[in-house]
Amino acid sequence: MTVRPIQYETVDGLKVVMSVRTWKRPDDELMESMAKLYGSEDYADMTIKYGKGKQRSAHRAIMCSRSEFFKCALKGGFKEASTGEIDLSADDAEAVDHMLYYIYHNKYPDPKRCTSNRESKHRESQMSCGDYWLLEGPREPHNMSPSFMAAAAEYNRRRELASQHEHSAESGLNDEKPSASRRVRFSENEGRDVKGEEHPETGAESSAQSEGVTHVHVYAIAEKYGLEGLKTLARQRFKDDLPILMKSSKFPEICHAVFETTIQTDRGLRDLVVQAFRAQLELHKDKKIRRMLNKTPDLALELYDMLCPFVPLHGSGHRS
């Protein structure tokens, strides 16, 4: 925010406004300077390659100070440290765009600012972003050196162990019920038609639906590269758009993406999806939802646990 103190001057006994001087806040000045370096060749000493032939110039001092992952990747005797090239082609290109924008601007990009990249159709059987390929092996080709891969795998292993330890300390590893503080409120009339009828979409609804999977991929890539602030922003955007997403034909795909791209102990997006089903118990009757649940066992199990108290067992009853 800019502060503009008004300057006055007395003329013939009258106080006259002479000028309005603009004073910049120090943090605004810092972020403006950072934003000028976004994608700039000035002082750039590294290159991020991603998507199909896309690349963006970057600055080690900024990338390494913002992400411990890149700090580990660009130090020591790794190939990436000497060449200054990082290959992120295994990640969703649009999510990489969001991540780089956040690193230099410290905010979530407007959907219109970020280059739209729909080359990945979010294939049900192959989710490139957040699939933890550094732990389990890549699902797509990459050009990172073996030494870098080993260091990155160790980094991700420690992050996962830390996440599991933190979760177990709070609620126990085997007790992952949605937290009350993370519950989302929806009106009873919100949600998709369980008979599968499509509703006309406004421009805002169409935009939210197209960004739905993107928020999920951004959340996953933020976890992968240790950007907690970006995870928070992606989760908030997902939460804000969720009432619209629930009415969308893409909602099954989005639910699948959430559970495919996050580990079991990461409840940030998973709790929001489960609470959406809690708010609309009829959702599970939709044919597309049921097909999705066949391919998403983690979500199916959580919904089973959630619905059990409401489903009477055959032959059950209490005798007085």
Reported as type and span, the H/E element at residue 20 is strand 14-20
Tell me the CATH number of domain 27-159, given options 3.60.20.10, 3.30.710.10, 3.40.50.1370, 1.20.120.520.
3.30.710.10
> Whole-model pTM?
0.67
Could you report the per-residue pLDDT of 4-62, keeping only the tens digit for each? Answer: 555 666 666 666 555 556 677 888 888 999 999 998 999 999 999 999 999 999 999 99
Average pLDDT in the 178-192 region?
37
Residue 291 has pLDDT above 50, yes or no: yes
Average pLDDT in the 130-137 region?
33
- What is the pLDDT at residue 261? 95
Average pLDDT in the 227-242 region?
96
Residues in the chain: 320
Residue 293 has pLDDT above 90, yes or no: yes
* 73 confidence band (pLDDT: 50, 70, 90): confident
The 3-state DSSP class for residue 5 equals: coil
- What is the pLDDT at residue 320? 44
Q: How far is 219 from 10, CA to CA, in rounded Å?
A: 57
6 or 136: which leads in pLDDT? 6
Could you report the per-residue pLDDT of 140-165, keeping only the tens digit for each? Answer: 444 555 555 555 665 566 666 666 65
% of the chain beyond a pLDDT of 90: 46
In the chain, the amino acid numbered 215 is H
Q: Would you kindly state where each structural domain of the chain is located, as residue ranges?
A: 1-26, 27-159, 174-309
Q: What are phi and psi of 6, to 5 degrees?
A: -85, 135
Determine which of 48-57, 118-127, 278-287 has the lowest per-residue pLDDT on average: 118-127
* 112 confidence band (pLDDT: 50, 70, 90): low
Q: What are phi and psi of 283, to 5 degrees?
A: -60, -35
CA distances from 199 to 158, 212, 292 (A): 46, 17, 21
Q: What are phi and psi of 228, to 5 degrees?
A: -65, -35
- What is the pLDDT at residue 239? 96
- Burial track 184-206 (b if 16+ CB lie within 10 A, e otherwise): beeeeeebbeeeeeeeeeeeebe
Handedness of CA 24, 67, 59, 49 (dihedral sign): negative
Residue 302 has pLDDT above 90, yes or no: yes
Residue 80: exposure state from Cβ atoms within 10 A (0-12, 13-18, ≥19):
buried
Handedness of CA 231, 235, 236, 238 (dihedral sign): positive
- What is the pLDDT at residue 136? 33
Distance of CA 25 to the CA centre of its chain: 29
- What is the pLDDT at residue 99? 97
Residue 183 has pLDDT above 50, yes or no: no
- What is the pLDDT at residue 17? 57
Q: How far is 171 from 222, CA to CA, in rounded Å?
A: 24
- What is the pLDDT at residue 18? 54
